[in-house]
Structure 1
Amino acid sequence: MSHRILVVEDHPLLRHGLRALLGSHPDYLVVDEAADGRDAVAKAFHLQPDLIVMDLSLPGTSGIDATLQIRRRLPQQRVLALSDDDSEIHIGEAMRAGCIGCVKKDCAPEEMMLAAKSVLAGRRFIGQDLASLLLDGVLNPEKARDTSPWDRLSSRERTIFKLIAEGGTNRSAAAYLNLSAKTVEKHRANLMRKLRLNSAVELALLAVDLGLVQRPAMSRPLVTNGSSTSLAN
């Protein structure tokens, strides 16, 4: 009997590669694909597959939020997370959301297949690189505590943070970086989550505090002959 698998990944090339890899196993049947969190939730409810391979960093509804929604309704659903984030916090969030396993997107095909086999059997699985990261956090707790969320941003996320803080949009940042707007949206969602920000206003205020952008000039009233105007400081 074939194990039915749903693949959730927003990058078409990686999504098709995962489908081909998993489909090469005689006991696995990839029943469908999804490119965003909302579609993943809908297809999970409809198909109720044996395994969901879930990208954590999806545009819009993240993979973590999608997993939470799925597991709330289907508590026995087995989810294998795909992470491109070298952060023990991200991995912890995924496992608390209900993922049974987690591997990096650039893991070896053999590790991916072993992870799928383990999660289908109900066993937890952490990829080798991620396990080393978690172990380092356990052995060096002071280092983990001293690392600020800003330090956990990738260089790309920092660039997008600054562009958005300077008043840019996803589209303008995408044009500047020669990326798709969808990719920028994904990076923006990741950095907002890592920095625990809920709005563009909070992002702008943090950018000022970090010295990445200048604080807007304040104005003071100038009274002249009973009327008032304003002058920038």
Structure 2
Amino acid sequence: MKSRLIIVEDHRILREGLRAMLCSNPDFDIVGEAENGMDAVRCARQYQPDLMLIDLSMPKMDGLDAISEIKNISPNTRILVLTVHKAEEYVFAALKAGANGYLLKDATHNELRLAVENVLAGKTYISPGISERLVQYFLNGRKDPEPDTALDILTQRERQILKLIAEGNKNKGISDYLCISIKTVEKHRSNLMKKLDLHNASELTAFAIQKGLVTK
């Protein structure tokens, strides 16, 4: 029986390239694609795939939040992160959220195939370059990444709304997209500003960019 895969990547050309590479394996069946975290969650709910390849930096909902939600609604789905982020805090955060593998986007075709096969087999796969960095991380006496307290104090919904604000969405657009009232959006926006000690949308956007929730 073929393994059912979903590709989650906001750049269309990369999605098409991944699909082409994975479709060359007769054991894989690409049952869906998504270009943001929210659509990834919907796909997981609809298809209950065996594996999802997920980027971390995406619009609407970032990869970390998407991974957490996907694991809640489809716990048997294996997740392989495919990203440009090499820093240890991203690796730890992804594994903590429920990822089963962590692969860098400069990986070769063969490494991608190996990572997918290992994760589908129930193993954990981490890019060799990342593995070496993690070993050095522990050898240097670090047992946990430094917590990002500014983000840790935000709820998942607040992080989601922060991301939408930083992407240029107004309260009405956020309200329509999330199917919540404008008053609820305004309340979340107010809470964000209080918690982060920020005072306008520009400061919220700069903070989101700094923390990697959105790209410039």
TM-score by length of 2: 0.67
* Aligned residue pairs, count: 160
Higher gyration radius (CA): 1
Aligned to 2:131: 131
Q: What's the CA shift for 1:42? A: 0.2
Flag as ranges the 4+ runs of structure 1 deviating above 4 A: 202-205
- Structure with more relative contact order (C-alpha pairs < 8 Å, separation 6 or more): 2
2:28 corresponds to 1:12? no
Distance (Å, rounded) in 2 between the aligned partners of 1:148 and 1:67? 19
Q: Which runs of 5+ in 2 are unaligned?
A: 149-165, 169-194, 207-216
Distance (Å, rounded) in 2 between the aligned partners of 1:94 and 1:31? 23
Distance (Å, rounded) in 1 between the aligned partners of 2:119 and 2:132? 19
* Secondary structure at 2:198 match in 1: helix
Matches within 5 A, 1:74-85: 74-85=74-85
Q: Quick check: 2:8–2:54 contact (8 Å CA) kept in 1?
A: yes
Distance (Å, rounded) in 1 between the aligned partners of 2:197 and 2:19? 36
Aligned to 2:106: 106
Q: What's the CA shift for 1:170? A: 5.7
Matches within 5 A, 1:1-233: 1-141=1-141, 201=198, 204=203
Q: What's the CA shift for 1:60? A: 2.2
RMSD, aligned CA: 2.7
Q: Quick check: 2:4–2:30 contact (8 Å CA) kept in 1?
A: yes
Q: What's the CA shift for 1:13? A: 1.1
Distance (Å, rounded) in 2 between the aligned partners of 1:73 and 1:45? 6
Distance (Å, rounded) in 2 between the aligned partners of 1:199 and 1:11? 30
The amino acid of 1:21's aligned partner reads: M
Give the direction of change, closer, same or farther, for the CA distance of 1:204–1:129 in structure 2 (3 Å limit). Answer: same
Q: Quick check: 2:44–2:73 contact (8 Å CA) kept in 1?
A: no
Distance (Å, rounded) in 1 between the aligned partners of 2:147 and 2:50? 38
Aligned to 1:158: none
Distance (Å, rounded) in 2 between the aligned partners of 1:41 and 1:204? 29
The amino acid of 1:31's aligned partner reads: V
The amino acid of 1:17's aligned partner reads: G
* Secondary structure at 1:123 match in 2: coil
* Secondary structure at 1:132 match in 2: helix
Q: Percent identity?
A: 38
